Structure formats: C-alpha cells, structure tokens
C-alpha cells in the first residue's frame, strides 16, 4: 500500500474534517503518497483558518485524474462513500465518524440514503464503541475503533484570557443555529447561576442577544484553541448527539473538566464523577445543580481536572496514527476486488440532490411571490387612487342596488 486518497465533503470547520485531515497528514509524514480531495467548496477555501496538511496533497474532487488507480480510498462522510465507487482503487475504506442519518428529518428519504452506505463492501473504521456496536448489530459490519487524538504539547501554552477574579469560567462551544448542540440551553443554565464567567466559541455565527457572554470568539483557527481551553475551568457540552465530542477531550488536555450531556459519543472517555459530570439530555435542573456544585466545591473541581488531564494523556495522536496505519494495511491485505462499494448508486444520489434543489428553488420562489404580492397589495390598498376608486364602487353599488322592503 503506497497511494492513499481521502475523500472529504469540504474544508468546513468541523471535528470530523479536522480528524480526517490529521490522519491524512500523519500518514503522509510516514512516507505514503496521500491526496485529500474535497467534494464541495466552502467559505474556508479562500481563508487561512485551517492550516496546511503538507506533505499530504490537497485538491478539489473535480481535479482528480479519473485514470489514476489508488491503493486505498477512504470515505469520511456518507456522501463521499457514494463518490468512492467512481475511483479505481485496490481497497476501499469508510471512516464513519457519527450517526450521520440523525442529521436529517426521520420522515425524509435521507436517513435511508445514509444507511445504504453502511451496507456495502468497505473496510469500516469508526471513532467510538457505540458506532462499532451499531454497525455490527444493524448492518453486520465489523469496524475498528480509532478515536480522535490530541497533541498534549499543544496545551502547554499561556491562557488567552487573563484572570481578573476567581469566578468559575465556563466555555460553551457550537454554532448558535445548530439545534442539537443545545447552545441556547447551556446559556439558559448559565443565566441562572450567579458569579460565573462565560466564554463562547462559535465555528460560524454570532451569539444571541439574550445570552450572557463575557468573551466571544468566532471561526477560531485550530492552533489557537488550546489557549482558550487553557483559560477555562470547564466546557459545558449539552448536545443531544455527538460522535465523539472532541472539544471535551481538548478541554481535558488543557487541564479543564466538563459538564456533558449523556450523548453516546462521550461514553468511551467521559466518566461521571471521575473526570467530568454527566447530566441527562435536556435536563436544565441537573445542569444548574452541577454548575453550582463545581462553583462551591473547588476541591471536587480540581479532582475532576486532574483525572481529566490523565484521561487526555491516553489519546496521543502518535499511537492512534499507528493504529490507523495498521487497520488500513490489514484491510489492504484482505481487500475485496470483486465489486466496488455502492457501484452504480451515484447517479441516483445526484438525481435526489437535483430534486432537492428544485424543490428548494420552488419553495423560495413561492415565498418570494407571496412576499412580493403582500407588499404590492399593501401599497395598493394604502394608495389614494385605491381609496378613491373603492369609494366610487361603494357609491355606485348603493345607487344601483335597490332597497328591499321588509
């Protein structure tokens, strides 16, 4: 195995993209010829938020030489799994980083389209034991678990935000409009506990006006995040769904702890009462009690921090990269050369996307027409000519309509 192609959806700032890029970079550093191809452009393609992953080579999917043959192709998101079949390769891998079907309405066709990718002949790699069990029990697929990693030395840095008091400082992370991240719920809980200092980091989007935010950051380059984590006592992560929860592990590496909801993605490393506090999903009261506990009991807070740091030390990128290389070499050795995964399915996916775009355009035009019609109608009814004409019509009707004797 020498040439490896990673297929990524885009360069959008997300945990899944960062993890896949890091694996690609480390494999390239080992001497493999690694190419990372992005299906779609994103708002980061003209910016410098994400660092270079040299010696890996980065291109757009449209720039791929269709005549090339790769030793290994790695799909990293359900949509890229469909495109993998268009690539000639000796082995096909699928790095599943989340229950991606849950990102779509359950009554739509998209969950089924996502689940179709789990039924094909890839070599599966995933990031936690919950996903491993799901792939095995629901689709009969065996998967190797390789969680995201961290470089502990990156967290030997100075805090970005100076301390002006001994108030409990809490970090909230997530896009403001991503409902499953429950950022609004986190700030609701924080608003009900006095003397807490808040830090908000958003990959994209400003905080809501009614959120109590003391320090706000947006689109932070990954290299600058350790100093922000280092500035905080804990991260408040109340998502309903997370594939791994890398921000919690990163906060652990910085010497902080966490209050985390009981989502499946953290169960492999977040231990309630040992390195963090785990609360039921959407339990505002339990979250408030936990914040008050850590605010008043600094001894318990420091015990959690100490154990959290020890947990983070178990997730070195070096060891995890070795595990990824071993999994790919094993898959390459036992490759199935008979058929390509999802062969012939891409046209159907493209037709679905086209239909979705047409429906979205039709809905937009409908709403635009309604809005324009309402605006014109309001202007018409307010005009002097309309009022005069309406008065003439009423007068004419009163003249031409004879009274009926009762």
- Measuring CA to CA, which residue among 165, 175, 177 is closest to residue 217? 175
Question: What are the backbone angles phi and psi of residue 146, rounded to the nearest 5°?
Answer: -135, 100
Specify the pLDDT at position 406. 46
DSSP-assigned letter for residue 12 = -
- Looking at the structure, tell me whether residues 43 and 180 fall in a common domain: no
The verdict on pTM exceeding 0.75 is yes
**Residues 100-158: tens digit of each pLDDT:** 998 888 888 889 989 999 988 899 999 999 999 999 999 999 999 999 999 999 999 99
- Looking at the structure, tell me whether residues 156 and 97 fall in a common domain: no
- Looking at the structure, tell me whether residues 325 and 371 fall in a common domain: no
- Looking at the structure, tell me whether residues 114 and 164 fall in a common domain: no
Is the residue at 295 inside a domain?
Answer: yes
How far apart (Å, rounded) are the C-alpha atoms in residues 86 and 117? 14
Is the residue at 87 inside a domain?
Answer: yes
How far apart (Å, rounded) are the C-alpha atoms in residues 292 and 295? 5
**Residues 295-314: tens digit of each pLDDT:** 999 999 999 999 999 999 99
Question: What stretches of 5-156 show up as alpha helix (H) in DSSP?
Answer: 15-29, 78-84, 110-116, 129-139
Max Cα-Cα span within the chain = 102
- Looking at the structure, tell me whether residues 28 and 43 fall in a common domain: yes
Contacts of residue 386, defined as CB under 8 A and 6 or more positions apart, other chains included, come to 380
- Looking at the structure, tell me whether residues 157 and 301 fall in a common domain: yes
Structural domains in the chain (count): 3
Q: Which residues form the domain of 365? A: 357-394
- Measuring CA to CA, which residue among 293, 295, 213, 307 is closest to residue 256? 307
Total Cβ atoms within 10 A of residue 209 = 6
- Looking at the structure, tell me whether residues 163 and 288 fall in a common domain: yes
**DSSP 3-state of 234:** strand
Domain holding 282: CATH number?
Answer: 3.40.50.2000
Q: For residue 357, say if its preceding peptide bond is cis, omega within 30 degrees of 0.
A: no
Contact present, 170 and 236 (Cβ < 8 Å): yes
Specify the pLDDT at position 39. 92
């Amino acid at each position: 195995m020498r040439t490896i192609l990673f297929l990524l959806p885009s360069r959008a700032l997300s945990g899944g993209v960062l993890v896949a890029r890091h694996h690609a970079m480390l494999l390239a550093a080992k001497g493999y010829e690694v190419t990372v191809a992005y299906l779609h452009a994103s708002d980061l393609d003209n910016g410098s938020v994400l660092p270079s992953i040299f010696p890996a080579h980065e291109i757009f999917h449209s720039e791929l030489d269709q005549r090339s043959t790769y030793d290994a192709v790695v799909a990293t998101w359900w949509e890229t799994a469909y495109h993998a079949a268009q690539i000639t390769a000796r082995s096909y891998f699928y790095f599943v980083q989340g229950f991606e079907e849950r990102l779509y309405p359950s009554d739509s066709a998209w969950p089924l389209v996502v689940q179709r990718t789990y039924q094909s002949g890839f070599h599966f790699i995933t990031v936690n034991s919950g996903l491993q069990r799901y792939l095995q029990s629901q689709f009969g697929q065996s998967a190797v678990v390789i969680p995201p990693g961290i470089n502990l030395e990156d967290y030997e840095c100075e805090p970005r935000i100076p301390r002006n008091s001994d108030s409990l400082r809490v970090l909230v992370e997530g896009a403001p409009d991503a409902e499953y991240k429950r950022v609004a719920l986190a700030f609701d809980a924080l608003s009900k506990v006095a003397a807490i200092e808040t830090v908000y980091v958003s990959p994209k989007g400003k905080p809501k006006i009614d959120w109590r935010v003391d320090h706000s950051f947006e689109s932070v380059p990954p290299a600058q995040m350790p100093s922000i984590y280092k500035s905080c006592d804990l991260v408040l992560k109340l998502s309903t769904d997370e594939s791994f929860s890398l921000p919690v592990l990163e906060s652990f590496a910085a010497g902080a702890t966490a209050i985390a909801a009981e989502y499946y993605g953290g169960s492999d490393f977040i231990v309630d009462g040992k390195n963090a506090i785990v609360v039921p999903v959407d339990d505002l009261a339990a979250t408030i009690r936990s914040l008050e506990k850590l605010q008043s009991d600094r001894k318990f807070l420091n015990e959690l921090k100490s154990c959290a740091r020890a947990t983070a030390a178990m997730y070195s990128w070096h060891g995890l990269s070795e595990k990824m290389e071993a999994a790919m070499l094993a898959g390459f050795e036992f490759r199935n050369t008979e058929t390509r995964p999802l062969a012939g399915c891409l046209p159907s996916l493209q037709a679905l996307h086209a239909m979705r775009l047409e429906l979205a355009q039709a809905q937009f035009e409908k709403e635009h027409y309604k809005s324009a019609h309402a605006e014109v109608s309001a202007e018409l009814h307010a005009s002097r000519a309309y009022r005069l004409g309406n008065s003439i019509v009423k007068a004419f009707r009163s003249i031409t309509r004879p009274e009926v004797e009762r």
